[in-house]
Amino acid sequence: MGTLRGVVRDDAGASLPLANVQVLGSNLGAVCDEQGRYVLDLPASRSWTVRWTYTGHIAHEETVELNPGETRALDVRLRLTSLPTFEVQENRRAERETQMQRIDPRLARFNPMPGGGVESLLTGQLGVVARNELSSGYSVRGGNFDENLVYVNDIEVYRPFLVRAGQQEGLSFPNPDMIERISFSAGGFEARYGDKLSSVLDIQYKRPREFAGSAMASLLGGAVHLESPLFNRRMRQITGFRYRTNQWLLGGGDTQGEYRPVYADLQSYWTYDLKDNLELGFLGMYSRNLYDVVPQSRTTEFGPFNKPLRFTVFFDGRERTAFETWFGALSLNSRPSKEMLLKFQASAFRTFESERFTIQGQYRLGELERDLGSEQFGEVVRDLGVGTFLDHARNDLDATVLSVAHKGYLQLPNSYLQWGVDARHERINDRLNEWSLIDSADFSVPLNTGDDLELSYVLKSKLGMESVRASAYVQNTWRWDRGNDRWWTLVAGVRAQHWTYNGQTVASPRARLTFHPGWKKVIRPDSIVDRDYSFWLATGLYYQPPFYREVRRPDGTLNPDIRAQRSIHLLMGMDRWFEIWDRPFKFTTEAYYKQMDDLIPYEVDNIRIRYYGTNNAQGYATGLDVKLAGQFIDGIDSWMSLGIMQARENLKDDFYYWRFNAAGDTIRPGFTNDQVAVDSSRVEPGWIPRPTDQRVGVSLFFQDEMARWPTFKVHVNIVFGTGLPFGPPNFNRYTDTLRTAIYRRVDIGFSKQFLGAEGQSKRGWRQHINNLWLTAEVFNLLNINNTIDHTWVTDVSGRQYSIPDYLTPRRFNLKLIAWF
């Protein structure tokens, strides 16, 4: 016997996990692992024809003859194709069994979104809502960002804890230049993934087999990465550096000032083959995000035509926010046999975060003249509120997370077994010191008749929290082939977690059943076409043990009796692969229902999530997601999606009173003249919308090229979403039933390829560059004012006004990208 081993990659060098390796004329074969690696035992001293296949790629065949005892390395590259109907069925099956949506990371460089990260590619995936171009945050099927799992090389990663607004957040952890594979699930995911309520984003970095690199420069920053094999390909490294500044974006908003945002990170991933079946790996990252602004003034005009308003503020003070993060992970991968893979990991995460601001604002809220014939048209003719506010914060947080983990994979004769255990130690120290003062028309609000000055908001605390989490899982995949391309797959497993802080242990069973009927349509006796459908059902019990922010109450204390939030997922879906114009398309639809209890209510302030710190709510989310993806232009991916959803919750202990005066009128502060109550009525709000209750969402990502000049391409990103609930920042969830304006955004990019296309010169310095692109981008093409939050102004009578905080207006960007 001899052994054939290697890696299957695409024409860009990215590995192809679960690619199929088949020996023609025999029952021998293999399936690649998650890194595209395969091991195949062949009888020696005989010629064999080996065939490599993968979804959407041209099959490759090669004749191989091995000597007795020989181990030969054979790496294969598969080129993209327009997906013939027969060759790709087995590879499509592997993706359908888990229903993890595959996303091409290379699209991140051409997707015309200001963020430019991989999170921008999630817009348009099933169930995803993203409404802030300055943030990497997104919500999935009624959840918030904290309910999403994000993995890089099987390790969970975090974003800053103290971040309030998207402009403070900076760079997210995943570096698009270093990514080999992105997989995403919007619910009903497997037991091997962790304990969160909504979704999982699974990212794997590259293991390069040849030297390559890229460089990018734009008005918003730059990036460079290098990858190379070393020591006869036994060692591999990929290193990336990113620099970003949002100064150009922020300068066009309503708030004028001196913006100095600087975000930078350095990441490096190394692997070394200690033996042919033993690999050592290291992933390191350092990140520093600094946001510094001296605001000067703000002018916001809003309201309907019959009552236009203008909010003007003049600022004094400064805001400075800094996040500094270190991350390191060691991994050891062992393959004792071709059926078994064992992984061992140890990682450390450390972050230091500080938030400093003292900002005074003197504001004026006025009604504008709306008479077109008046000389004062568009000017303030009546003041509705005049006052001053003073916001102050000196907050510091440092967090350390240490973890060890083991994962195993075993190919059994009739199933595929996976298991894992991990332990994580968390230590968080948090010092909070923030307060606000509102002075409306020379009166402190809230109004105080004593000698002391009463602040409208005060939070001072010094907290420390240390705990250990231990978890384990086991799952198995069973496959039943019934012939004629008809098959069933069942993926079932269970995971459990124990948290020492509250002493709670939770167990989460999960299962997914997939059926491929193998339907075919007979056009004529000699022509049979596959009707490539698949159907699935998924269910599971999902727990989310709280992290630090969920444990902290609004008054700055910790709740030691906090419990894990729980959600039961029920999903039913189908997909179909088909061809239009001899190009591949995929239609996917999924209906879902999530029953939730032990929820921890929260309010959303810009992108900061402010939790109530107690399990006093139940809720549900239900909806339907539809997506069509394919190549409208040969070789260029596009997609469009539609989501319809309702997400509601019921706080178990909330109520309020309507107060009535002697005339029987309901007393409304700032509106009712007689505010002396003589009677009252208790009201229990019942079911109210969750903060992420976007009823309808539509997304489109479309790419095109000129027929006669294929080096010219256009990329369009369109997002539409109905309004989200909001209300005054008072920690009374029943007041958050107002709706923001509809979200509408169009971004467009125009690209020209100068090097790398067929017929373009490769002489001189150009021979060292594989591809060179210049892209011109227009963000928010229609210059629509989209609302991210509201500023609330209260006058001395108690009347409140909500002023919309708008996202970025139309801005332009130039970007130069080179691959070598």
Structure tokens belonging to residue 504: 């709670």
Structure tokens belonging to residue 563: 């419990």
Q: From CA 314, how far away is CA 362, in angstroms rounded? A: 5
Structure tokens belonging to residue 11: 């024409």
Structure tokens belonging to residue 351: 């972050």
* Per-residue pLDDT tens over the stretch 333-355: 999 988 899 999 999 999 999 99
User: What mean pLDDT is predicted for residues 470-497?
Assistant: 93
Percentage of residues in the chain having pLDDT higher than 90: 55
Closest CA to 229 of 247, 206, 256, 252: 206
Q: How far is CA 595 from each of CA 99, 197, 522, 545, 621, rounded to the nearest angstrom? A: 21, 11, 44, 17, 7
Contact between 205 and 238 under an 8 Å Cβ cutoff? The reply is: yes
Q: From CA 784, how far away is CA 793, in angstroms rounded? A: 24
Residue 797: per-residue pLDDT: 66
Three-state SS sequence of 751-784: EEEEECCCCCCCCHHHHHCCEEEEEEEEECCCCC
CB atoms within 10 A of CB 74: 15
User: What mean pLDDT is predicted for residues 658-662?
Assistant: 87
User: What mean pLDDT is predicted for residues 181-199?
Assistant: 93
CB atoms within 10 A of CB 492: 17
Residue 84: per-residue pLDDT: 32
pLDDT at 93 over 80: no
pLDDT at 99 over 90: no
Residue 779: per-residue pLDDT: 94
User: What mean pLDDT is predicted for residues 171-192?
Assistant: 92
Contact between 445 and 456 under an 8 Å Cβ cutoff? The reply is: yes
pLDDT at 794 over 80: no
User: What mean pLDDT is predicted for residues 600-614?
Assistant: 89
Q: From CA 186, how far away is CA 625, in angstroms rounded? A: 10
Residue 13: per-residue pLDDT: 65
Structure tokens belonging to residue 395: 């907050």
Residue 449: per-residue pLDDT: 53
Q: From CA 191, how far away is CA 57, in angstroms rounded? A: 30
Closest CA to 778 of 71, 113, 23: 113
Residue 87: per-residue pLDDT: 33
Q: From CA 511, how far away is CA 538, in angstroms rounded? A: 6
Closest CA to 790 of 735, 728, 746: 728
Contact between 820 and 212 under an 8 Å Cβ cutoff? The reply is: yes
Residue in this structure with the two tokens 């606000």, named with its chain if needed? 436
Read off φ and ψ for residue 520, nearest 5 degrees: -140, 150
Distance, C-alpha 647 to centroid of its chain:
19
What 8-state DSSP symbol labels residue 162? S
For 17, how many CA atoms within 13 A lie in the half-sphere containing its CB? 16
* Per-residue pLDDT tens over the stretch 10-56: 765 677 877 888 888 787 888 887 678 888 888 888 888 998 888 65
Residue 55: per-residue pLDDT: 62
User: What mean pLDDT is predicted for residues 243-254?
Assistant: 88
User: What mean pLDDT is predicted for residues 670-693?
Assistant: 87
The 3-state DSSP class for residue 90 equals: helix
CB atoms within 10 A of CB 302: 17
Q: From CA 732, how far away is CA 800, in angstroms rounded? A: 15
- The residue with greater pLDDT, 767 or 496, is 496
What 8-state DSSP symbol labels residue 249? H
Residue 611: per-residue pLDDT: 93
What 8-state DSSP symbol labels residue 552? B
* Per-residue pLDDT tens over the stretch 200-218: 999 999 988 889 999 999 9
Omega into 685 within 30° of 0, i.e. cis?
no
User: What mean pLDDT is predicted for residues 799-805?
Assistant: 86
Q: How far is CA 113 from each of CA 5, 119, 291, rounded to the nearest angstrom? A: 41, 10, 20
Contact between 400 and 427 under an 8 Å Cβ cutoff? The reply is: yes
Q: From CA 251, how far away is CA 394, in angstroms rounded? A: 26
Give me the amino acid identity at 776. A
Residue 385: per-residue pLDDT: 82
Structure tokens belonging to residue 772: 């060179």
* Per-residue pLDDT tens over the stretch 715-727: 999 999 999 999 9
Closest CA to 188 of 99, 296, 73: 99
Identify which of 140-149, 441-450, 480-489, 520-529 has the greatest average pLDDT: 140-149
Give me the amino acid identity at 329. A
Q: From CA 341, how far away is CA 587, in angstroms rounded? A: 34
- In this prediction, residue 386 has a pLDDT band, given cuts at 50, 70 and 90, of confident
Strand partners, 156: 151
pLDDT at 440 over 70: no
Q: From CA 148, how far away is CA 544, in angstroms rounded? A: 10
Structure tokens belonging to residue 726: 């909001």
Q: From CA 703, how far away is CA 698, in angstroms rounded? A: 17
Contact between 155 and 538 under an 8 Å Cβ cutoff? The reply is: no
Torsion of CA 475, 96, 102, 709, to 10 degrees: 170
- In this prediction, residue 82 has a pLDDT band, given cuts at 50, 70 and 90, of very low
Least confident of 58-62, 63-67, 739-743: 58-62
Percentage of residues in the chain having pLDDT higher than 70: 94
What 8-state DSSP symbol labels residue 773? E
Query: In whole numbers, what is the pLDDT of the chain averaged over residues?
Result: 88
Residue 448: per-residue pLDDT: 56
Q: From CA 147, how far away is CA 263, in angstroms rounded? A: 25
- The residue with greater pLDDT, 520 or 625, is 625
Strand partners, 478: 415, 490
Q: From CA 3, how far away is CA 39, in angstroms rounded? A: 7
Least confident of 294-298, 376-380, 394-398, 584-588: 376-380
Give me the amino acid identity at 275. K
Q: How far is CA 25 from each of CA 28, 50, 258, 529, 797, rounded to the nearest angstrom? A: 9, 10, 71, 25, 87
Q: Beta strands of 112-254 (E only): which ranges?
A: 128-129, 139-140, 148-152, 155-156, 179-185, 199-205, 212-218, 221-230, 235-244
